[in-house]
Amino acid sequence: MEAPDVETSSDAYARRFAGPVGEWFLDVQARTALELLSPWPGSTVLDVGGGHGQLTGPLVAAGHAVTVYGSAAECRLRVEGWIASGTARFQSGDLLRTSFPDRTFDAVVCFRLLPHVAAWRRLVAELCRVARHAVVLDYPSARSVNAAAGPLFGLKKGVEGDTRPFEVFRDRDVRAAFDAEGFRRAARRAQFLLPMALHRGLGSQRLSRALEAPAAALGLTRALGSPVIARFDRRG
C-alpha cells in the first residue's frame, strides 16, 4: 500500500511552508482551488492525501463539507482541530482503493500527492470513481523548469533540505488518464513561473511577488508555470 502522505502530514513537512514565502504559496494554492470548486458551493469534498491540512481550513471556511482521507491514522494529526470541532471528518485506508461507494462526493481534491505515487494512474481512477462532478489536483509540469528536476535535484535539496524525488508530468499524460475514466479537463492553472525552491531560497515574499507579477501579466506563467492545478469534470 502506497503511503507518501504520511510524510506530507508531518510537522516537519509543514515547516517547509512556514514564514511569509510559504504562506504565499499556500494562499495561491487555496485561492485557485476554491475558484475551481466555485461551481459547487457548499459541496461535499473528499481531500485525498490531505493530512497536510493545507486546504482543510479554506475549504471549511468556504462552506464545504470536508472529509480528509489519509493512508494511515497518523495522517489526521495536523487536521485534528477541525475533526475535534466537527467541521471536518477523517478516514484512513488504501489511497488506491477507498471504501467509499461510487460518486459519494460532489468533488475530490488531491494536492501534494500525485508526484509521489508510483501507481498514479490507479490513483486517478480512484479519485474519479468517488467524484460525482469533478476532481481538482496539482502536479509539477514538464512544461517548466521542472523538466530538469532530475539533474537539479541536488541543488533543490540543498535549498529545501528534506525534499523528495518526484514525478514530473506531461499535460497530455494526465489528460489521457482522466479521459480513460470519462473525465475532461475543464480548467488548468499554473501557479509560478520560477521554481518554488528558488523562491524559498530568496526568502522574500515581496521580491517573489515582484518577480512573478510580470510573468503572469505576459502569459508566461500560464504557458510555462508549475505546479499546475487542474480541474477535470465528469462527462455528461
Helix (H, G, I), strand (E, B) or coil at 127: helix
CB 195 within 8 A of CB 110: no
Give the total number of structural domains in the chain: 1
pLDDT computed for residue 161 by the predictor: 54
The pLDDT value given to residue 154: 52
Query: Given this model, what pLDDT does residue 144 score?
Result: 73
Residue 172 counted as domain residue: yes
* Cell numbers describing residue 92: 484512513
Domain extent for 91: 5-142+166-190+227-234
Q: Which three cell numbers stand for residue 58?
A: 479554506
- Residue 183 lies inside a defined structural domain of this protein: yes
Cell 467509499, located at residue: 100
pLDDT of residue 165: 75
Q: How are the residues of the chain apportioned to helix, strand and coil, as percentages rounded to the nearest 5?
A: 45, 20, 30
SS3 50: helix
Within-domain flag for 73: yes
Query: Would you state the cell numbers that stand for residue 50, as one nine-digit string?
Result: 490531505
Q: Does residue 64 lie within any of the structural domains?
A: yes
Please tell me the distance from the alpha carbon of residue 81 to that of residue 86, in angstroms, as a whole number: 9
Contact 51, 78 (CB under 8 A): yes
Nearest by Cα to 112 from 202, 198, 47: 47
Tell me if residue 106 falls in helix, strand or coil. Answer: strand
Q: Would 19 be classed as within a structural domain?
A: yes
Q: What is the C-alpha to C-alpha distance for residues 37 and 64, in angstroms, rounded to an integer?
A: 10
Residue 75 lies in a domain: yes
pLDDT at 128: 98
CA angle 167, 169, 175 (to 5 degrees): 135
pLDDT for the residue 157 = 45
pLDDT in tens, the chain (236 residues): 899 999 999 999 999 999 999 999 999 999 999 999 999 999 999 999 999 999 999 999 999 999 999 999 999 999 999 999 999 999 999 999 999 999 999 999 999 999 999 999 999 999 999 999 999 999 999 987 665 544 554 554 454 455 667 899 999 999 999 999 999 999 999 999 999 999 999 999 999 999 999 999 999 999 999 999 999 999 98
Q: Give the C-alpha separation, 176 to 236, whole Å.
A: 18
Cell 489519509 identifies what position? 70
Residue 147 domain-assigned (yes or no) = no
What pTM did the predictor assign? Answer: 0.91
14: β partners: none
- On whether residue 198 sits in a domain, the answer given is no
| Residue 193 near residue 159, CB atoms below 8 Å | no
* CATH code of the domain covering residue 110: 3.40.50.150
